[in-house]
Structure 1
Amino acid sequence: MIAAIWATTALTITGMILFAGLKAWRGWLDLRRYEIAAGRSAPEAPDPTPGVRIEMADLKERLRRLEAIAQGVDL
């Protein structure tokens, strides 16, 4: 009798976990569909100004340096 209760409990918990995982998967798929649809309907952004380009290059260089520091590489 005890074994049947444990088996039923385990099956119920497994079902709940699978249901939650399936719901999360469907939510993620809906999010991706929304992102793809938004990307298609959005107009193309104009080229960034030279100031923005310089700032982006600076940020990329900082990121490259931080990654090198994290990996222990000396620049």
Structure 2
Amino acid sequence: MQGKQPRLRDQVRTLIRVDHYSIRTEKTYWYWIRYFIRFQNMKHPRDMGPRDVIEFLAWLAVNRNFAAATQKARP
């Protein structure tokens, strides 16, 4: 029997901590990941792709007045 794949939260936490980001950054990233998933009507992340990200970033730019530079930032 194969082990279960780690939950998304655990995967994110591991990657952030390996890169030595602060706990505050970890919390901020997790907030935006959850926001993105809710924006996509709770679609599973494995079922999303670049178009979903572009749609979300465009929505943020128009509806939340996020700067274009934000859309180019690396998560």
The structure with the largest helix share of the pair is 1
Of structures 1 and 2, the one scoring higher in RCO (CA 8 A, sep 6+) is 2
Give the TM-score band, short-chain normalised. Answer: under 0.3
Q: Which has the larger radius of gyration?
A: 1
TM-score normalised by L of structure 1:
0.27
